[in-house]
């Protein structure tokens, strides 16, 4: 009878423990996606297209700290909305933000691969070509924190045959990050999608 009671109580205790420590467990899920390197001065800062409310600010801050002299960004593909003039290309928005944050126009380099970049792999390919043309040996990559593990994987994969040192400098999105992604719909979708994309990248590349 005692053994049966213990067996019945175990699932209840387990569920209770999961409930009590749910925030820590969920934060661990988010933090697995985050990689942050110890930064040293680099030849360039490479800004990934994405949330223009935080990424350009982080890139600008690093430049003002003397971590590099240039911010490089690859032009994103024009969506239908951009083609019809409904809204600007995300790269243009990022560049405007950089200038507003005090980055001199001469310190901003826009790469223009044919058709524009569609995803992170395209950005890595564009960076590889630029490093070869300009003898770049070190780069700081700025992206969102939940995107940083996948970004490091693909950039190191693409640049593996080159002497370029890659350092990740992620920044939390304004609305959510690794420690609170489950508290709103955008974070739930973002974290889930990032895990799916991480698996996809490992399978494809």
**Whole-number Cα distances in Å, 145 to 25, 52, 175, 200:** 18, 14, 12, 19
Rounded Cα distance between 134 and 181, Å, is: 39
**CATH assignment at residue 130:** 3.40.50.620
The predicted pLDDT at position 16 comes to 45
Helices (H) and strands (E) in the chain, counts: 8, 5
How many other C-beta atoms are found inside a 10 Å radius of the C-beta of residue 73? 27
Give a yes or no: residue 19 inside a domain. Answer: no
Among 79-93, 149-163, 172-186, name the one with the lowest average pLDDT: 79-93
Angle at 205 between CA 127 and CA 25, to 5 degrees: 95
Rounded Cα distance between 191 and 178, Å, is: 8
| Mean of the per-residue pLDDT values of the chain | 90
pLDDT > 80? residue 85: no
The predicted pLDDT at position 141 comes to 99
The predicted pLDDT at position 13 comes to 43
pLDDT > 60? residue 17: no
Which residues, 6 or more positions from 39, have their beta carbon under 8 angstroms from its beta carbon?
62, 67, 140, 167, 169
Q: Which stretches within 101-184 are classed as H helix?
A: 120-134, 148-158
Give a yes or no: residue 36 inside a domain. Answer: yes
* DSSP SS3 for 39: coil
Write out pLDDT tens, residues 124-136.
Answer: 999 999 999 999 9
The predicted pLDDT at position 186 comes to 92
pTM of structure: 0.88
Rounded Cα distance between 10 and 91, Å, is: 54
Expressed as residue numbers, the domain containing 99 is 29-204
Q: Structurally, how many domains does the chain consist of?
A: 1
How many other C-beta atoms are found inside a 10 Å radius of the C-beta of residue 153? 17
Write out pLDDT tens, residues 19-74.
Answer: 555 688 899 999 999 999 999 999 999 999 988 999 999 999 999 999 999 999 99
Give a yes or no: residue 139 inside a domain. Answer: yes
Give a yes or no: residue 21 inside a domain. Answer: no
Give a yes or no: residue 55 inside a domain. Answer: yes
């Amino acid at each position: 009878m005692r053994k049966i009671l213990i067996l019945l109580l175990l699932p209840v205790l387990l569920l209770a423990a999961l409930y009590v420590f749910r925030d820590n467990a969920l934060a661990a899920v988010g933090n697995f996606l985050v990689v942050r390197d110890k930064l040293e001065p680099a030849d360039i800062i490479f800004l990934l297209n994405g949330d223009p409310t935080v990424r350009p600010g982080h890139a600008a801050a690093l430049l003002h700290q003397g971590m590099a002299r240039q911010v490089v960004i690859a032009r994103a593909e024009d969506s239908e909305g951009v083609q019809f003039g409904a809204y600007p290309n995300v790269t243009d928005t990022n560049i405007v933000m950089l200038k507003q944050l005090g980055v001199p126009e001469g310190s901003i380099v826009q790469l223009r691969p044919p058709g524009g970049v569609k995803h992170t792999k395209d950005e890595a390919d564009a960076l590889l070509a630029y490093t070869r043309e300009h003898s770049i040996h070190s780069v700081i990559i700025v992206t969102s924190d939940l995107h940083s593990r996948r970004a490091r994987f693909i950039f190191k994969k693409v640049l593996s045959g080159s002497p370029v040192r890659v350092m990740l400098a992620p920044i939390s999105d304004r609305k959510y990050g690794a420690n609170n992604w489950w508290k709103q719909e955008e974070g739930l979708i973002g974290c889930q999608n990032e895990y799916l994309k991480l698996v996809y990248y490992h399978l494809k590349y």
